[in-house]
């Protein structure tokens, strides 16, 4: 592993560990998907062995597998429709704490968990902080509706591409049995409006734009020496 890769892993670990230390006894915890969150799970496992009593709700099969391996008790939204805290990653974070998520294809469950949580903690390295959202926006689409959805997405000025799997032929299939379409918009000047507009396309389940949770979001930017913590109070109007 190169020194740059080592530094990035250390930054992710620092952010994940700090998020795990924010979790209190008795909490219901939303468990996001991604490499930085998995460091949080690693640290959370140690705290559970030391006596912390929590239950987690995973946002993906992969996270559920990881959580079980680390001995984290799991529950569901059926039993706990409201969540104390959710910890997740992000692909991009802008100065208003608006997010692009979904590189791991778990965006729909991640958004459901984010909406159910009183507090949303985003763990990331400093490469994820951007002056404005401009990354690829994943959307989850019913296979039945894929062609009309893609046609309407083109009408919003993007180039939609069905995400292809790496170790299987054909498209990536989400945990919900749907396709993931990656949408290239370029600079997104009005992300709230775009999120609302594409949500109205029939057959489109959810998008990776997360623009409505800034008031309950805390962002932890990992660093080997000291993490930076950003909250809604730090947003400049």
Segments in 22-157 forming alpha helices (H):
35-49, 61-69, 107-116, 146-155
Domain CATH for 147: 3.30.70.260
pLDDT number for residue 236:
67
Does residue 124 sit in the same domain as residue 7? yes
Does residue 47 sit in the same domain as residue 88? yes
pTM: 0.94
pLDDT number for residue 2:
61
Does residue 16 sit in the same domain as residue 123? yes
* Count: domains in the chain: 2
Does residue 22 sit in the same domain as residue 118? yes
pLDDT number for residue 58:
98
The model's confidence at residue 233, banded by pLDDT at 50, 70 and 90, is: confident
* pLDDT tens-digit readout, 75-112: 999 999 999 999 999 999 999 999 999 999 999 999 99
Does residue 46 sit in the same domain as residue 110? yes
Tokens for 217, please give them: 């979001």
**Proportion of the chain above pLDDT 70, given as a percent:** 98
Structural domain including 200 reads 137-208
Domain CATH for 226: 3.40.50.1360
pLDDT number for residue 223:
80
* pLDDT tens-digit readout, 184-225: 999 999 999 999 999 999 999 999 999 999 999 999 998 877
Of 206, 7, 35, 187, residue with least CA distance to 111:
206
Active site residues: 110
Does residue 122 sit in the same domain as residue 39? yes
pLDDT number for residue 131:
96
The model's confidence at residue 234, banded by pLDDT at 50, 70 and 90, is: confident
Of 163, 155, 171, residue with least CA distance to 139:
163
DSSP of 201-221: STTEEEESEE-S-GGGEEEEE
Q: What is the mean pLDDT of residues 138-157?
A: 97
Does residue 15 sit in the same domain as residue 120? yes
């Amino acid at each position: 592993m190169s020194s740059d890769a080592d530094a990035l892993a250390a930054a992710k670990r620092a952010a994940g560990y700090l998020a795990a230390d924010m979790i209190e006894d008795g909490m219901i915890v939303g468990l996001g998907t991604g490499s930085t969150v998995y460091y949080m799970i690693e640290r959370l496992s140690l705290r559970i062995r030391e006596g912390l009593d929590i239950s987690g709700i995973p946002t993906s099969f992969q996270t559920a597998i990881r959580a079980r391996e680390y001995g984290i008790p799991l529950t569901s939204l059926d039993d706990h429709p409201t969540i104390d805290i959710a910890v997740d990653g992000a692909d991009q974070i802008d100065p208003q704490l608006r997010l692009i998520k979904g590189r791991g294809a778990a965006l729909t469950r991640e958004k459901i968990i984010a909406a159910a949580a009183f507090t949303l903690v985003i763990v990331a390295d400093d490469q994820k902080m951007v002056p404005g959202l401009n990354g690829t926006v994943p959307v989850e689409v019913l296979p039945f509706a894929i062609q009309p959805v893609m046609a309407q997405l083109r009408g919003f000025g993007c180039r939609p591409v069905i995400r292809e799997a790496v170790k299987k032929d054909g498209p990536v299939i989400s945990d919900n049995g749907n396709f993931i379409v990656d949408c290239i918009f370029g600079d997104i000047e009005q992300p709230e409006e775009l999120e609302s507009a594409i949500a109205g396309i029939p057959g489109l389940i959810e998008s990776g734009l997360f623009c409505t949770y800034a008031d309950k979001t805390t962002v932890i930017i990992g660093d080997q020496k000291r993490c930076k913590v950003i909250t809604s109070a730090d947003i400049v109007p």
